Structure 1
């Protein structure tokens, strides 16, 4: 049973990697796409922005719609849609077709990711659930960080089509692994849509949504401009910037592993400490941003803390609505995307008004607000929930 659970979680992790890789990997090949379809780089960017909008819109609804169907069948459906989208992208003769082939799978993105988190948690005991979920988050981090340089390398070393083939191959392999090795998973004790939607009547659900938005905003409001920060403030060369981005990604994966243990043993303390630790990192970045070595150290710590933060965001939503796990994970995905969009916009405003060095203020403001929300959320918990260390 334990070996089967390990295999299940591994397949889910790789599956999430494949889907996030499809989403984020395109960032590394946008110049090649613009050249291939003879469109501007800003128009090519629609492949990223419209994908993110589709995910944000479908986050609360699609997981809810599929929540009563056999989970294996749903995962195969979503992976199949991504495979078809990937294959169409390889042979797309014009940009409009390529855009459609991207956006349609995007609506199914929250379904698989939500299911992966729910199934991973359900495959182990309640106490071990955070560790299982953290392993799936490794796939999320890897998809967000590793997919970009791999796709960029393949496009430059071979062709744009080869990079697209890479996306397809990963999803095909996960589809086959799911088909062959994951058992049928009928939904037990199926809940009505109304019963799941009723979690929106709880104040703690909305407070948790606000906390997730602000915490994700605090991370991506600064991280979205990390390359620009390293270039203009720290005065690093392009090779050094690439290394720093890789280091951040690797640290993010480490943070996922650490988060599993923290949330298993010290959930409440970990949630309370996150804004203060991340705030300290940003303050150090602000005062020592021109010095390469301190910035490298802070980036490493920042990556670990951000990895922990992603797990904490999911924990906040799940603990607020444990009776509707698929819907709660969908709310988490949408809230996280809203936070990313909000943080990136606010960070851009600070850069335009004050300069790149001051982008950390955007992160600090989100952290101050998130601290107040987390404190409010804590006092809304029952005494038994508050006593969890």
Structure 2
């Protein structure tokens, strides 16, 4: 059992590392201008980070599975701090690109180990709400870290946010070293082979598939958020940042509520929340001509979209109890793949002549597919009478 202060310490670290992922979007023009590259080339820094998480995260997690978790996350935090410091000091675009890739490589592995450590301290039936506290670190990175980093970059130059993030990671090192005890007995190290063996289990693969499919619809809307609210609804460009804040506040509220609901009835709440999201998307389509109604629906979409994440993460942990760390890293990669697919499909919808507004309806259809995958997973759970039920599964019945 770890101390109550350990989870907030880990949440701070998640906030710091995730801010490093998000902040680049707000300073891209400054990076491009200072390093004498085009804005599209600077945009590849975002792609590089995603690729690092998708491909590198699971590989690094498997290779480090045999190491004790606390020393491992301290090393990962140190790499994150060094990667952001290297980004701040990068003399040329290739150096910045390499620093972003290195930083991305440790992100999924750190988050996976942090979740496993935090859940080891959770009381029975409180796994999902514990996960939601770490996800809250991501929410805060979105609604506080990225805007503050953008503001800092505007006033002090694009290198300043990376210096600040490196300092936050260094603070995280001190917090983890002081507040997170060694948890070798509660979360024993495994091996790469043992971690990979867990993917023979159909329920693990199904849990990860739920993450990929069920999140793709909303991610499509989020990818094209700015043109949707400006070109379809008619908001001024300056209102986009405010609406993103509204979305982020909704995400925080939904994350907290979703974690509590998932503790009580994981699959029932997941299906219900996904159904509400599938209904909210066409409602947003219908109301998209009204700025006031759209602002309300932005909050609703943020809340519903993030309400399902704690339960999905907890389900992966429950399904992959023998090797949870790699499963969590692969689950994070599945989320990134969902984002990549959402961007591709959204682009096809727009280029196909259906227009921006149709994204809401296509996103609803994709979410319905996510409901189908989730319902199939629940049916399999209920049909498995020969295996002992986990606390999460018992709560779903």
User: In structure 1, what is the equivalent of residue 336 of structure 2?
Assistant: 337
Once the two structures are superposed, the pairs formed by residues 304-319 of structure 1 within 5 Å of their partners are 304-319=303-318
Contact 1:317 1:331 in 2 (8 A): no
Give the structure-2-normalised TM-score: 0.93
User: In structure 2, what is the equivalent of residue 369 of structure 1?
Assistant: 369
Whole-angstrom CA distance in 2 between matches of 1:198 and 1:83: 32
Whole-angstrom CA distance in 1 between matches of 2:308 and 2:55: 23
Give the 3 Å change call, closer, same or farther, for CA 386–372 of structure 1 in structure 2.
farther
> How far has the Cα of 1:203 moved from its partner?
1.9
User: In structure 2, what is the equivalent of residue 23 of structure 1?
Assistant: 21
Say what the alpha-carbon RMSD is for the aligned residues: 1.7
User: In structure 2, what is the equivalent of residue 289 of structure 1?
Assistant: 288
**Residue segments in structure 1 that go unaligned for 5+ positions in a row:** none
Runs (4+) of structure 1 moved beyond 4 Å? none
364-373 vs 248-257, greater mean Cα deviation: 364-373
Aligned partner of residue 184 in structure 1, secondary structure:
coil
Give the structure-1-normalised TM-score: 0.95
316-325 vs 135-144, greater mean Cα deviation: 316-325
User: In structure 1, what is the equivalent of residue 109 of structure 2?
Assistant: 111
> How far has the Cα of 1:104 moved from its partner?
1.1
User: In structure 2, what is the equivalent of residue 102 of structure 1?
Assistant: 100
Whole-angstrom CA distance in 2 between matches of 1:145 and 1:85: 23
User: In structure 1, what is the equivalent of residue 379 of structure 2?
Assistant: 379
1:56 to 2:54 alignment: yes
> How far has the Cα of 1:189 moved from its partner?
4.4
Among 25, 41, 44, the alignment partner of 2:42 is 44
Whole-angstrom CA distance in 1 between matches of 2:145 and 2:105: 20
Whole-angstrom CA distance in 1 between matches of 2:82 and 2:58: 24
> How far has the Cα of 1:59 moved from its partner?
3.0
Once the two structures are superposed, the pairs formed by residues 5-20 of structure 1 within 5 Å of their partners are 5-20=3-18
**Residue segments in structure 2 that go unaligned for 5+ positions in a row:** none
Whole-angstrom CA distance in 1 between matches of 2:194 and 2:69: 19
User: In structure 2, what is the equivalent of residue 176 of structure 1?
Assistant: 174
Contact 2:232 2:289 in 1 (8 A): yes
> How far has the Cα of 1:387 moved from its partner?
6.3
Contact 1:69 1:186 in 2 (8 A): no
Whole-angstrom CA distance in 1 between matches of 2:188 and 2:103: 29
252-261 vs 317-326, greater mean Cα deviation: 317-326
For residues 40-93 of structure 1, give each alpha carbon's deviation from its aligned partner in whole angstroms, at most 9, with x where no partner exists.
001111211011001001232222222221211111111111111111222211
User: In structure 1, what is the equivalent of residue 77 of structure 2?
Assistant: 79
Give the 3 Å change call, closer, same or farther, for CA 147–212 of structure 1 in structure 2.
same
